[in-house]
A and B are shown apart, each in its own frame.
Chain A
Amino acid sequence: MSEINITVTVNGTKINANVKPEMNLLKFLRSQGFYDVKCGCEMGDCGTCTVIFNGSSVKSCITLAAQADGGTVWTNKGLGEVDELTQKLQKAFVEHGSIQCGFCTPGMIIAGKAYIEKGGKPDRNEIKKAISGNLCRCTGYKKIVDAIYDVAEQMSK
C-alpha cells in the first residue's frame, strides 16, 4: 500500500503531502488543518463537507484526495476571506439566525453560493432544491432559506 505524493492548492496555498490511495479529500483537508470542512456522514448524504473543487461544488467525502492532485480547492473559510458572494452569505446567515449548532453551515453556504452563481433567483422552492443535499438537524431550514433568499435578492438587483 504505497502512499502517493499529491500537490493541491487549498485556499490559494500550495500543499504537498503523501496520502493513502483510498483517502478521501475530506480527511486530507482536515489532516492539513482545514477544520472548517466538517466530517458528518462520510457517505455523501449530509453535505457538510462540501467544498469548491476545480470550480464546482463537490462533497469532499466522496472525492478521492488523489483526484485533487494538481487541482484547486476552496473551503468556506478560505472563500470568506476573498470572495464577496461568500462574505454576503456568511453575513446573511448571522443576521437571519441561520446558525444554531453551526455544523451544517459551511456546506450550506457553499451550496448557496453555487446556486446563486449558476443564476439562481430569489425563489424559495428553488433554494430548497439547491440545498437538498445538505442536512440541518437544528434550524428546520427556514432561516437558512431566508438567508440565501436575501442574498439572491441582493444579487439580482
Chain B
Amino acid sequence: MSLTERLQPLFDHLPENQRAARAAFWQRLRDEGFPSKKHERWRFTDLPGALPDALHPAEPAQLTLPDVEGCRRIAFINGAAEGVDANELRTEPAASVHDASDLVNAALASTGLHWVPSTASTPLHLCTRTTTGSVHLRHRIEVPPQVQAQLYWDDVVEGDADFVTQSLEITLAEGASLVLARKHANTARGPALLRTDARLARDAQLQLTGFDAGSALSRHDLHVRLDAGGAQAQVHGVFAPWAQGHIDTFATVEHAAADTGSRLQFRGLGMDKGVGVLTGRVHVHRDAQRIDSNQQLGSLLLSPRAQINAKPELEIYADDVQCAHGNAIGQIDQDALYYLQTRGVPYAEARALLIGAYAAETLHIPAMPAVEKALMAGLDRALAHADWSLT
C-alpha cells in the first residue's frame, strides 16, 4: 500500500472544515509522495518502510505526567490538549511547508501549541505523549523583541503509537532569547518525525539542547536560520539508539547575514544494533561575512553491532569566515573502565559513569539545572534499557 493510501483514513478522520483548509497540502502529498531513500536527505532512513500497514486515529488516555520544578506544565496526550490556555492553542493550518517530508504534518496536524512568551512568563514544560494511533501536532513559538524565554519539551512516543509527526516553528525577534531543551524517546512500533525550524532576527539568541533515545525510528530535521547580525545559535544534541533503534538527525544552520555565530555539538551513542545518522550542515550565504561557526561531532560505539554515520558538511559562499569542524568516533576507554572497577565500581555502573561524562558537556544547560538533570536521567534510562550482552 502506498504511503498516502495508508494515511487516507487519518485525513478522512479530520473534521470537514479542517480537511478543506488542508486539502492543498494533502493533494501535494498525493502528487509528490514522501521522499524515498533516493532523496539525498533521506538516504539512510526509510520512513515509508517503517510505517505499519494500518494507521489509526489516536484515542484519549489518562496518564500521570512528571513535574519539573519552576515550570508550568501543559500537555498533549494522544493529541488532546491538557492545561493549554485557549489563546495558546493553535488551530490554523500551516502557512507553508519546508519540504516534501513536512507535507504529512501540514496535511494532518489539526492543533498544537502556540506560545508567545512575555517577560513575565514562567518557563514552560511541554509534555507530549503518544501511546496509541497517529498523532500530528504543529507547534509555534514566537518570542517578542528583548524577551527571554525557556521551554522544556518532554516528548514520549510509546506502546501502540503508529505514527507521530510534529513540527515546531520558532521565531526570535530582535534581541529575543530562547533556551529550549528537548527530551525525546520513541519505543513505539511506529516512527516519529520532528521538524524544527527557527529564524533569528538581529541579536537574537537560541540555545537548543536535545536528547533523543529509543528503540524505534526517529527522525529530526532541524533548521536554524540566522537572519541578521548578532544572531547566535547553539545547537547541542545527544542521540542514543538501542535495540533496533534508528535515530536520524539532519541539522542545518544557515548563516544568512554577516556577523552571526553558531555552535553545533553532537554526541552519538551506539548501543545494541542501534543506528545513528547525523548530518551537520553549515551553510554560509555569499554576503554573510565575518561569521563564526564551530561544529563538533563525536560518537561512541558501545556495541560491535551498532552503527553511527556522522558527517559534517560545509557550504560556504562568503570569504571572510571562521568555520571549524571536527568529527570523531571512538570507543569506551578500557583503562578508565578498569580503573573505576579496581575502586569497587561495578562494570555496568562504571560504563554508565563514563558514558555520562562523555555526554554531560553537550547536555549542560546552565539556565535550567532541573531540566539538565531530567535529560541526564533520560540517558541513564536509555543505558538501562540497552542489551549489553553483545559487548
Pairing of A with B: no
B residues within 8 Å of A by Cβ? none
A residues within 8 Å of B by Cβ? none
